[in-house]
Amino acid sequence: MRRRGLFLILCLFFYLLGAGGTGRAAEPATRIEVEGLRTIGKAELIYLLGLRGPNALAPANLALGIKRAFKKGIFEYISVGLVPGRPGVITVKVREKDRIKDIRFDLKGKGPSRGFLKARFILRERDFMPYSLLDRAGAALGKTLSMAGYPDARVSVCVERPDRKDPYNVRLVVCVFPGPPVRVKRVRIWGVPSPPGKPGKTINIRAGDVYNQFELRRRLFDLKKYYLERHYVAPRAGPYSFSDGVLSVYVNPGKRYEADFYGNHALGKKELQGLLPFMQAGDVTDELVKEAAETIRDAYRGKGLPHAEVATVVRQEGGLYIIKFYIAEDGKFRVGRVDFTGVSLPGDRLRGFLALHKGAVYNPVLLETDRSSLQDFYYGLGYLDASIGEPAVRVGGPGRMDIAWSVKEGGKYVIGEVSVKAAPPLSALRVRQAIRLKPGDTYNAVDITDARYRVLELYNERGYADCSVNVEKHFADHRAGLAFTVDAGRKYVFGKDIIVGNRLTKERVIRREFLHRQGDPFSQETVMKERQRLYELGLFDSVDVSEMPAYDATFDTVYRVKESKPGSVQFGVGYGEYEKYRGFLGVSYKNLFGMDRLASARFDFSSLTRRLTVNYEEPWFFGHRLPFRAYALAESRTQLNFDTGQTSYKLIRYTATAGVEKQLTRHLKGQVYQEFSIVRTYDILPGIVLSREDVGTLAISAIRPALGYDTRDDPFNPTRGVLAGVSLNLASAVFFSQTDFAKLVVRAAKYQSLSSRLVLAGDARIGLAEGLGSTHELPIVERFFLGGRDSVRGYPQDSLGPKAADGTPIGGNAFFVSNLALRTRITSHWWIVPFLDAGNVWLTVGQIKPLDIRFATGLGLRYMTPVGPIRIDYGIKLSRRQGESRSNIDFSIGHAF
Amino acid sequence: MRSRKIKIHAAAAAFLLTALFVSGAPAFPAALGSAALGSAALGKTNPPCGPGAGKILDRTVAFVDDDAILSSELEARYALARKLAPGITRAQVLQTMINRTLLLRQARQIFPPAMSDEQAIRQFTDFKIRAFVVVPESAVRDFYEKNKAKMGSAPYERVRGRIERLLKEKEINRRLLDYIRTLRQKADIRVFLTNAPPIFR
């Protein structure tokens, strides 16, 4: 009985197993075999072909999948088939496009340089190989050679596959048979007798030279430019012809003008020259001279000289026109009183947005602008019938012009009934909430347009890309009834995403920035946000997003990226009084393994320091957007007593740090780092030893949580915003540290643009530290030091605060520093920066003396680069003590704060 | 009788253009499938693999840059085209499909993706070509004078409109061919009608 039961169970098991097998066989594909794929992964190809989806092998779906995969831009052939005798097995064969690995020019004879050929060949290295354009490329190069003076040139292009292991990379061999060149026997310049500017010298083609039309055209362009710079209004350099070795070039400089200005004070000669229309018009005529006078008159009105008059005298000497502008500037006027009649609104409110307000330079041209502004203002307030009369302008006193506006306000319109005819899936109530307009509100056409856009947005973000919203208005008794009617149209969803142009970057690095999933409602706003996120990765020069034509109310989206160069090298050198020479050399690569990982190494050196830092950054940690950073540092440093030049101590430090950062809000960032250092301090002056940890080898292990708030517009050269932060450094035996302490640093900086050339920057930093447990004094490498290029300029590096008996700074457990700078742009690249710095260091927190602050002021010079300024600062001590130097010079890279 | 011939010409020209650009059918093989616009091997779209290699469900028969033309599409168009022009070849049909793809790519740069292919092409040709074609009165008069004998005694005013339409369609067709020729010169086009490129393993 038990055996029978067992037998039945086994039968049932095998039956179910068999049934399960049959069921899987009915699936579209149990196995997909791919041949020929090289550039992208198999998973991405299958995703694009849609072979895992339902009805994948339906003809329409299959065609759609192949077309979608082709959009990737790397394929020239795809076939999808079934294997006989292997049900459920799909075979995909692809042929990727060849890529041009290199182009070699094989010059058979004397002719143009390889550089010339390479620059003018239409195919480029690293591009895909367009076989159908190959003959055309050869023919085009032949034509180019003909233009360059080799009319019998022949070009043949052949394709080689130099590497059998990498068959998709090809080499183009361009064989060029230049043939004999055509040479110039004689150059003839014709047009006008003896044209000025020695055109023969500018064209500079002599008998025996190759008849190179590219070179000839360039020189004719130079000749034309020469004439234009000398006020020839329509010079002609060309056309040219070539026959029997004779090069004939037509040259005619044409008309020229000289303009002189008399009586001008408010406008300079250069400004007035810029107003003349002759060069643009290419002629000098009486009409153009009149136009020039009128333009000058308008320019004077803009300067508050409404009565300026311009008289002209024109004298012609052959092709030269001498034009004299006599200018009577008359008195300068400013706006005096601005009055209104017929208004119920307060006059100050109306004056607030007028260009011609009290004290402004009187420019009659702006009267019409102000009239239009008033009209718009009244319209915006619902006064649809308001009319603004011609302003009455009269002289109100010496140099003063009074303006009086007369206004007929008419009645004020308000919104009457607002009716809404919504379309599913949104209710009328939800649409009404988006409209936000209610009966009694002031009628304003802009508000109504905004309301319409809000409704459109509401539907669009739910996938209704074709939605239309119609607003009908009915006016009666100064009330406007509004009727909103929504036609939602069809609902569209996101289909598949096609990523194009990512040669280095892995597909998943791009895909993880997406905010949608397949089947989500299609929204342009989502697409725009995704585009922004991809830009912010810093991996791409351009990101373009487009939708493929819709199918089944679905949009496949194409993300076309152009990758930027991932590697960079940085270097810099400088000189400071303390460190003497100093410099750095850095290399970085920001797209390691195509995963948006940054790896960098930097070597800093000076007469006192050698420091090597290796850095690694991973923007996604364990599948989450949680940037992980790790760096290792090896440093050898000598600390000097600046005054005596004696070595205070030397140290060798090895540090490893790792941690994560999290963007908590748009501006707020949190981070936690664990740092482990081994520090060896030696050759230390006895006077600065405060604790046993100051000498010998010490292991310091600390955890460092921090919060940062950053609203700066540019981290390298901020012109506005706030930078604030707090960080705590906690070293403890719990983390295997040989010393225990806590360090807290708080900072706040504010940047405020005062004008286009002025930025006021202020900064304050406070640091407090305490030894914990058996540690009373912090080891010297962890104590605070101040003075120098990034703290209190005017004082040598790290020279402030408590000192040993011999005057060597020993650092402290508390500091305060504050800086104020007025960053002033003098040219596009050069800035000068007057600054005021204040700060000090105290041995312990209990010894802080708020009045014991050391001040310094000075002037800095900055040269702006894309990664911040190169700077030199000259600081002068304001509270100099006996024995201290008067000033200090610092050279550095980046702003002080 | 002669005026009827003109009517037939005009109608035929209009039909051919409409058929080509509205339905995408290769109804204008003599012009758009001509050697002037590219050539292709004649023959069926045989699978590139030999017997026993398996059943090909679909495959690329041509591409225009990053747009594929598939065997399934070609066969559908070919079947439709044969009803209109029994002597037409697959290669000719494929050439019209390449031309259509070239035009569609241009149209898609302007018109929204929700618009159908046919509508996008029609609007693009209207916008790019038709809007700029004007038949001068002298050309209509000249045509009338040259073909007067064929049109019998039909007065000029009666046939003027039809002649203008005919000349306009001819001019549109000519400009369209020129435009397609320009597009072809810039595009990477390859045809795999009877053979496939080697697949690297």
Residue B40 has pLDDT above 70, yes or no: no
Distance in Å, alpha carbon of B168 to nearest chain A alpha carbon: 31
Give the C-alpha separation, A194 to A197, whole Å: 9
CA distance A875 to A861: 12
- Are B69 and B60 within 8 A, CB to CB? yes
Cβ distance A51 to A32 under 8 Å?
A: yes
Residue of A nearest to B59 (CA): A79
- Could you report the per-residue pLDDT of B68-125, keeping only the tens digit for each? 999 999 999 999 999 989 999 999 999 999 999 999 999 998 888 878 888 999 999 9
Q: Judge: B58–A62 Cβ closer than 8 Å, yes or no.
A: yes
Token reading at A307 = 């009565």
Query: Which residue in A35, A77, A465 is closest to B201 by CB distance?
Result: A35
Question: Which residues are within 8 A (CB) of A706 and not within 5 positions of it... i.e. 6 or more apart?
Answer: A670, A671, A672, A673, A725, A726, A727, A728
Residues A872 and A728 in one domain: yes
Q: Answer yes or no: is B160 within a domain.
A: yes
Mean pLDDT confidence for B16-37:
39
- Same domain for A137 and A80, yes or no, is no
How many residue pairs bridge chain A and chain B with CB atoms within 8 Å of each other? 117
Nearest CA in chain B to A83: B54
Provide the pLDDT for residue B49: 44
* Closest residue to A84, CB basis, from B52, B59, B73: B52
- pLDDT at position A777 is 80
Higher pLDDT, B200 or B140: B140
End-to-end CA distance of chain A: 89
ipTM of the complex: 0.78
Query: What pLDDT was estimated at residue B31?
Result: 37
DSSP 3-state helix, strand, coil percentages of chain A (rounded to 5)?
20, 40, 35
Q: How far apart are CA A144 and CA A136, in angstroms?
A: 12
Chain A 524-553, CB below 8 Å of chain B: which residues? 546-550
Per the domain annotation, does A4 fall within a domain?
no
Helix B90-108 × helix B71-84 angle, to 10°:
110
In a domain, A656, yes or no: yes
Q: State the nearest Cα–Cα gap between A455 and chain B, in angstroms.
A: 20
A354 and A324 together in one domain: no
Q: Which residues pair with B56 in a beta bridge?
A: A81
Decide if B12 is inside a domain. yes
Residues A798 and A870 in one domain: yes
Q: Does residue A635 fall inside a structural domain?
A: yes
Contact residues, chain B, for A72 at CB < 8 Å: 66
The answer to whether residue A3 sits within a structural domain is: no
Q: What angle do CA A204, A208, A211 make, to 5 degrees?
A: 70
What's the average model confidence in pLDDT over B157-163?
91
Nearest-angstrom CA–CA distance, B105 and B69: 13
Q: Which pLDDT band, with edges at 50, 70 and 90, does B25 fall under?
A: very low
The C-alpha of A345 sits at a distance from chain B's nearest C-alpha, in angstroms, of 47
B196 → closest Cβ in A66, A77, A136: A77
Share of residues in chain B with pLDDT > 70 (%) = 73
Q: Are residues A105 and A79 in the same domain?
A: no
Least CB–CB distance from B190: residue in A67, A132, A550: A132
Asked if residue A16 belongs to a domain, the reply is: no
A138: which chain B residues are within 8 Å (Cβ-Cβ)? none
Q: CB neighbours of A58 closer than 8 A, spacing ≥ 6? A: none
Min Cα–Cα distance to chain A from B186, Å: 8
- Determine the pLDDT at residue A5: 52
Q: CB of B108 within 8 Å of any CB in chain A?
A: yes
CB contact under 8 A, B199 and A95: yes
User: Which residue in the set A36, A70, A82 is minimally distant from B55, CB to CB?
Assistant: A82
Residues of chain A contacting residue B181, judged by C-beta atoms under 8 Å apart = none
For residue A339, tell me if it sits in a domain. yes
At B114, which CATH number?
A: 1.10.4030
Whether residue B120 lies inside any domain: the answer is yes
Examine residue B89 and state whether it is found in any structural domain, yes or no: yes
Residue found under tokens 């233009």: A147
DSSP state of B69: E
Judging contacts by C-beta atoms under 8 Å, the chain A residues touching residue B196 are 77, 79, 93, 95
Please list every residue in chain B whose beta carbon sits closer than 8 Å to the beta carbon of residue A552.
none
Identify all chain B residues contacting A79, using CB atoms and an 8 Å cutoff.
Answer: 47-48, 56, 58-60, 196
* pLDDT computed for residue A29 by the predictor: 61
Does residue B51 sit within a domain?
yes
**Residues of chain A whose pLDDT is less than 50?**
1, 6, 8-27
B197 inside domain: no
- Does B50 lie at the interface with A, CB-CB under 8 angstroms? no
Does residue B137 lie in a domain region? yes
| DSSP output for A834-851 | EEEEEEEEESSGGG--TT
Phi/psi at B89 (5° precision): -105, 165
The band of B34, judged by pLDDT with boundaries at 50, 70 and 90, is: very low
β-partners of residue A760 are A752, A822
Is B198 contained in some domain? no
Residue type, A189: I
Contact B187 A132 (CB under 8 A): yes
Shared domain check, A498 and A390: no
Q: What is the pLDDT of residue A28?
A: 52
DSSP one-letter string for A201-242:
HHH---TTSB--HHHHHHHHHHHHHHHHHTTBSS-EEEEEEE
Domain count, chain B: 1
- From the number of C-beta atoms within 10 Å of its C-beta (0-12, 13-18, 19+), residue A218 rates as exposed
Q: What pLDDT score was predicted for residue A296?
A: 95
Are A106 and A194 within one domain?
Answer: no
Cα separation, A657 vs A676, in Å, equals: 6
Query: Nearest CA of chain A to the CA of B141: how many Å?
Result: 39
Compute how many other C-beta atoms are within 10 angstroms of the C-beta atom of residue A130.
20
| A163 shares contact with chain B (CB less than 8 Å) | no
What A306-315 contacts at long range (C-beta under 8 Å, 24+ apart), as own/partner pairs, is A306/A333, A306/A362, A306/A363, A306/A364, A306/A401, A307/A331, A307/A333, A314/A286, A314/A289
User: Residue A481: its pLDDT value, please?
Assistant: 94
Torsion over CA of A777, A782, A787 and A789, rounded to 10 degrees?
180
**Which one of B71, B188, B193, B201 makes the best mutation probe of the A interface by having the most chain A beta carbons within 10 Å?**
B188
Looking at the fold, whether A88 and A111 belong to one and the same domain comes out as: no
Look at residue A81 and tell me if it is in a domain: yes
Last residue of a domain, one of A373, A408, A443: A408
Clarify whether residues A168 and A220 are in a common domain.
no
Instruction: Tell me which chain A residues have a C-beta less than 8 angstroms from the C-beta of B200.
Output: 36, 38, 95, 167-168
Alpha helices (H) along A478-583: 507-511, 524-536
pLDDT for residue B47: 46
Q: Which residue has 């061999």 as its token pair? A: A173
Q: Is A617 helix (H, G, I), strand (E, B) or coil?
A: strand
Considering only CB atoms, B63 lies closest to which of A70, A490, A555, namely A70
The DSSP result for A54-98, as a single string, is TTTTSHHHHHHHHHHHHTTS-EEEEEEEE-TT-TTEEEEEEEEPP
Q: Is A562 exposed, middle or buried (0-12, 13-18, 19+ CB in 10 A)?
A: middle
> Is residue A7 domain-resident?
no
Closest C-alpha to A641, from A807, A758, A476: A807
CB contact under 8 A, B68 and A465: no
Q: What are phi and psi of A432, to 5 degrees?
A: -65, -35
**Minimal CA separation from B119 to chain A, in Å:** 12
CB contact under 8 A, B196 and A79: yes
Query: The domain spanning residue A283 has which CATH number?
Result: 3.10.20.310
Closest of A533, A588, A534 to residue A566, by C-alpha: A588
Enclosing domain of residue B130: 2-191
Tell which wins on pLDDT, A163 or B66. B66
For residue B48, list chain A residues with Cβ-Cβ distance below 8 A.
79
- Cα A46 from Cα B31, distance rounded (Å): 39
Whether residues B188 and A131 touch (CB distance < 8 A) is answered with yes
Checking if the pLDDT of B5 tops 90, the result is no
Whether A822 and A680 map to the same domain: the answer is yes
A78 CB near a chain B CB, below 8 Å?
yes
Give the domain range for residue A319. Answer: 256-328
Burial A806-819 (b: 16+ CB within 10 A, else e): eebbbbbbbbbbbb
**Hey, are the CB atoms on A79 and B59 less than 8 Å from each other?**
yes
Chain B CB within 8 Å of residue A67 CB: yes
pLDDT at A3: 54
User: How close does chain A come to B66, measured CA to CA in Å?
Assistant: 5
Provide the pLDDT for residue A883. Answer: 78
Which residues of chain B neighbour A75 with C-beta distances below 8 Å?
60, 63, 68
User: Looking at residue A84, what is its pLDDT?
Assistant: 82
Shared domain check, A419 and A281:
no
Q: What is the token pair recorded at A450?
A: 């905004």
Does residue B151 have a pLDDT over 60? yes
Total domains in chain A come to 8
Residues A813 and A691 in one domain: yes
Among candidates B52, B55, B60 on the partner chain, residue whose Cβ is nearest the Cβ of A77:
B60
- Cβ atoms of A555 and A492 within 8 Å: the answer is yes
C-alpha distances in Å from residue B99, one per residue of A138, A884, B64, B68, B95: 24, 84, 9, 13, 6
Q: Does B57 touch chain A (CB under 8 A)?
A: yes
Burial class (CB in 10 A: 0-12, 13-18, 19+), A147: middle
